[in-house]
Amino acid sequence: MTIRQKVLLVEDSKAVQQIYRNKLTLEHFQVITADNGMEAIKALSSERPDIILLDLMMPVMDGYKVLQVVKTDPKLSPIPVLVFSAKGQPEEVEKALNLGAAGYIVKATTKINDVIDQIKTTISRKPVVQEVTRYEVGIRTDAYDAKRLAEDFKFGNFTCPACAAEMVLSLIPDFSHDTPWFSAKFLCPKCRV
């Protein structure tokens, strides 16, 4: 028995979702669907698709945020993401590619068979993990409000509870906002957690 490749289809339009689910099933893919970005992230906690076909404009959590979550998570980042959007302006395409998308498909101008071909081509390529730009910033413990920040995050003096190394603040550009924005988390440079 052949193992079917798995596609996570993230699309808020039930009609578009059904058309692509039917076509992908006919092409021998296993299809998992999500109606919005939050459902996609939830699905990724239990499923490992071979590829994600991702709409951008969705309620609850948009495709840019999903793309950022996928490409900054070491367990998920190898999964190729094809953005599948009604928008095709150059800045939209660039934004998606900067976040790590493997390709960009404009719904209105791309035939369904061409989408299937692009899915097959993307899956067949050797995976290329695109590093997402991130910055690691040391925290000056004598800086204004540093002590309060350490208390809020239960860090003592910004030291790793496991190895006592000084923690750094990892900043990841978040392109899902119109203005410059970063998502941040504390990280131990030795333990990498």
Which residues are CB-contacts of 181 (< 8 A; sequence separation ≥ 6)?
173, 174
Say yes or no to pLDDT of 145 above 80.
no
Q: Give the mean model confidence (pLDDT) for residues 30-48.
A: 94
Q: How confident is the model at residue 20 (pLDDT cuts 50, 70, 90)?
A: very high
In angstroms, the CA 38 to CA 139 distance is: 32
Residue 1 lies in a domain: no
**Is the pLDDT confidence value at 103 over 90?**
yes
Buried b (16+ CB within 10 A) or exposed e, 81-119: bbbbbebeeeebbebbeebbbbbbbebeeeeeeebbebb
Residue 130 token pair: 């695109």
**164-180: average pLDDT:** 71
176 pLDDT band, cuts 50/70/90, is low
Which domain-ending residue is among 124, 157, 179?
A: 124
Same domain, 45 and 118: yes
pTM, two decimal places: 0.68
Q: Are residues 101 and 163 in the same domain?
A: no
Q: How confident is the model at residue 183 (pLDDT cuts 50, 70, 90)?
A: confident
Amino acid 55 reads D
Q: What length does the chain have?
A: 193
**pLDDT for residue 1 is more than 50:** no
What is the per-residue pLDDT for 42?
Answer: 94
Looking at the fold, whether 115 and 139 belong to one and the same domain comes out as no
| Cα 79 to Cα 124: distance, rounded to the nearest angstrom | 12
| CATH value at residue 100 | 3.40.50.2300
On whether both 143 and 117 belong to a single domain, the answer is no
Q: Are 32 and 8 in contact (CB under 8 A)?
A: yes
* Residue in this structure with the two tokens 């699309």, named with its chain if needed: 11
The answer on 66 and 150 residing in a single domain is no
Q: How many domains does the chain have?
A: 2
- Do 30 and 56 fall into the same domain? yes
What is the arithmetic mean of pLDDT over 41-55? 94
Mean pLDDT of 79-106: 91
Q: Domain range for residue 139?
A: 135-187
Q: Are 51 and 8 in contact (CB under 8 A)?
A: yes
What six digits make up the tokens of 62? 């948009």
Lowest-confidence region among 75-89, 100-114, 123-137? 123-137
Q: Do 104 and 182 sit in the same domain of this protein? A: no
What pLDDT is stored for residue 38 in this prediction? 94
DSSP assignment of 133-186: P-EEEE--TTSTTHHHHHHHTT-TTTB-TTT-PBPEEEEEE-TTSSS--EEEEE
Regarding whether 140 and 84 lie in a shared domain, the answer is: no
CA distance 134 to 22: 39
Residue 64 has pLDDT above 80, yes or no: yes
